[in-house]
């Protein structure tokens, strides 16, 4: 697929979503559609979809033990084994999964290959994907946790603590959060990496750009309504609490930019189970990561093996003992 | 389903995290705080809608103009003049910090740093101060 087509089609899709919600609320006044009905449907699709995908994956048998190995496996006692890169027990697997999920260790190993004059192949470490990825994921996590101030009443103290650290520099009024800046910066850099590196651009599909633009749209609309459009927060929280207490009541007069933000979030979570965003659940179900490399020390039975009827040598000899003796073939039992 | 035990534990953790706000707010009535304005004036410096969403921007602008430019007079959108002062203009009407400012700020976890320098108006009733505890 043409790279430009992928980019432009995804951009048009996200722009259309923004326009639909902006005019849907601003011009037609569909507050309760965008404030109540769509968020509820999106949340239902998200929950059912994610559970379905996980169960669907869990129903697939893993015929072989196929961990990726990146270090010395357990062998002779005097050879030092690397339990994190080539796990030989459950603790190794847990450690490896922990580092993968929380520190994105496999991205840290990312490398780039270049063909130099000669021709010579040159390999070098490429940490940008890891850096932008980890900045993006952790700032997103902090932003989601900060949003709990709208979802919970009374507000839990850990949310207050995170918010106060995040707004530590007290720049501008209302305070600009460090995580907002990191988030927008990281998403932009991930986008620039995707369009800047020819190889990555070549393999990028509309789905890759769509998720990026959608998330960027959520971030931009969020910052816009906090620092530029000035949304009435009392109304926003009373809507959020009314949704979470199952007594939905959208208050009148919330600025349409809020509904753009909410609609983009609704689209994101509804799209989640159908897309590459499911890597959030998929990382836990990767047989290349969640299995220990114990192929030699423990037998792995293919789950779809049916019981094979075997005919042992003992039985064979019992069948043909007399004939074997006649021919002079040695037998185990006389 | 393979590894059913581990898969189910994972799904239960996922559901618990996602639905946490529903359980946390379960059975509570959604009542946004009511503010006690406590004034005879009918009209604030700007319109109610503007003040509700953007009072912090106005106050920030006032602070900058007074402290950095030395300008004390604010002309609102209707042409009326006000003295730019939190302690002399705002709190003349909004005389209770705990019943006006704090109710929304607590509800929304906003911690403005106005009172790092300014002195909050004295509460009329002694109980108001105690309600924080």
pLDDT in tens, A104-153: 999 999 888 888 888 899 999 989 999 999 999 999 999 999 999 999 98
B57 touches chain A (CB under 8 A): yes
Whether A315 has a pLDDT exceeding 80, the answer reads: yes
Q: Over the stretch B2-42, which tens digit does the pLDDT of each residue have?
A: 889 999 999 999 999 999 999 998 887 767 888 887 777 78
Mean model confidence pLDDT for chain A: 92
Asked if A34 contacts A230 with a C-beta cutoff of 8 angstroms, the reply is no
Chain A from 65 to 124: CB within 8 A of any B CB: none
Do the beta carbons of residue B19 and residue B12 sit within 8 Å? no
Q: Read off the tokens for B61.
A: 């602008």
What mean pLDDT is predicted for residues A273-290? Answer: 94
Contacts of A56 (CB under 8 A, 6+ apart): none
Asked if B53's CB is within 8 angstroms of A233's CB, the reply is yes
Summarised one tens digit per residue, pLDDT across range A20-69 is 999 999 888 888 999 999 999 999 999 999 999 999 999 999 999 999 99
Find out if CATH 3.40.50.2300 is the number for domain A3-327. no
The structural domains of chain A, with segments of one domain joined by +, span: 3-327
Residue A232, min C-alpha distance to chain B (Å): 5
- Cβ atoms A276, A207 nearer than 8 A: yes
Three-class SS state of B83: strand
**Bridge partners of residue B75, in order along the sequence:** B81
| CB burial string A307-322: b at 16+ within 10 A, e below | eeeeeeeeeeeeeeee
Which among A284, A225, A294, A278 has a CA at the least distance from the CA of A256? A225
| ipTM confidence score | 0.87
Contact A148 B21 (CB under 8 A): yes
User: Any chain B CB within 8 A of the CB of A40?
Assistant: no
Does position B61 have pLDDT exceeding 70, yes or no?
yes
Residues 6 or more apart whose Cβ sits within 8 Å of residue B33: A234, B103, B104, B106, B107
Cβ density class B27-59: b for 16+ within 10 Å, e for less: eeebebbebeeeeeeeebbbeeebebbbbbbbb
**In the numeric block, which tokens belong to residue A261?**
């933000």
């Amino acid at each position: 697929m043409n790279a430009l087509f992928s980019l432009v089609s995804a951009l048009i899709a996200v722009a259309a979503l923004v326009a639909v919600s902006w005019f849907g609320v601003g011009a037609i006044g569909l507050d309760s559609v965008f404030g109540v009905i769509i968020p509820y449907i999106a949340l239902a699709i998200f929950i059912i979809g994610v559970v379905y995908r996980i169960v669907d994956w869990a129903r697939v048998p893993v015929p072989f033990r196929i961990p990726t190995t990146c270090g010395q496996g357990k062998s002779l006692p005097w050879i030092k084994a690397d339990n994190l890169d080539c796990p030989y027990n459950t603790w190794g697997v847990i450690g490896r999964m922990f580092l993968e999920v929380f520190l994105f260790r496999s991205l840290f190993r990312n490398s780039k290959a270049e063909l130099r004059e000669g021709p010579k192949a040159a390999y070098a470490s490429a940490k940008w994907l890891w850096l932008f990825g980890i900045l993006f994921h952790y700032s997103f996590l902090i932003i989601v946790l900060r949003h709990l101030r709208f979802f919970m009443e009374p507000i839990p103290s850990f949310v207050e603590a995170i918010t106060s650290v995040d707004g530590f520099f007290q720049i501008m009024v209302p305070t600009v959060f460090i995580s907002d800046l990191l988030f927008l910066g990281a998403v932009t850099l991930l986008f620039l990496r995707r369009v800047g590196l020819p190889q990555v651009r070549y393999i990028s599909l509309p789905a890759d750009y769509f998720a990026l633009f959608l998330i960027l749209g959520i971030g931009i609309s969020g910052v816009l309504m906090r620092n530029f459009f000035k949304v009435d927060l009392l109304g926003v929280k009373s809507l959020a609490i009314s949704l979470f207490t199952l007594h939905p009541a959208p208050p009148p007069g919330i600025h349409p930019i809020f509904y753009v933000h909410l609609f983009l979030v609704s689209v994101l979570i509804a799209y989640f189970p159908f897309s590459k965003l499911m890597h959030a659940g998929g990382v836990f179900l990767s047989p290349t990561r969640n299995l220990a490399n114990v192929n030699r020390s423990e037998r792995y039975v293919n789950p779809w093996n049916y019981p094979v009827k075997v005919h042992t040598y003992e039985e064979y000899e019992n069948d043909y003992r007399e004939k074997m003796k006649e021919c002079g073939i040695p037998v185990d039992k006389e | 389903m393979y590894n059913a035990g581990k898969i189910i534990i994972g799904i239960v953790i996922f559901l618990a995290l996602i639905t946490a706000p529903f359980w946390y707010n379960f059975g509570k009535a959604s009542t946004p705080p009511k503010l006690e304005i406590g004034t005879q004036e009918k009209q604030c410096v700007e319109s109610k809608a503007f003040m509700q969403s953007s009072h912090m921007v106005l106050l920030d602008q006032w602070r900058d103009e007074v402290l950095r430019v030395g300008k004390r007079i604010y002309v609102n959108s209707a042409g009326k003049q006000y003295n730019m002062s939190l302690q002399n203009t705002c709190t003349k009407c909004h005389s209770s910090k705990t019943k006006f400012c704090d109710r929304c700020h607590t509800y929304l976890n906003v911690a403005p740093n106005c009172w790092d320098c300014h002195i909050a108006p004295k509460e009329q009733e002694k109980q108001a101060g105690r309600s924080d505890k």
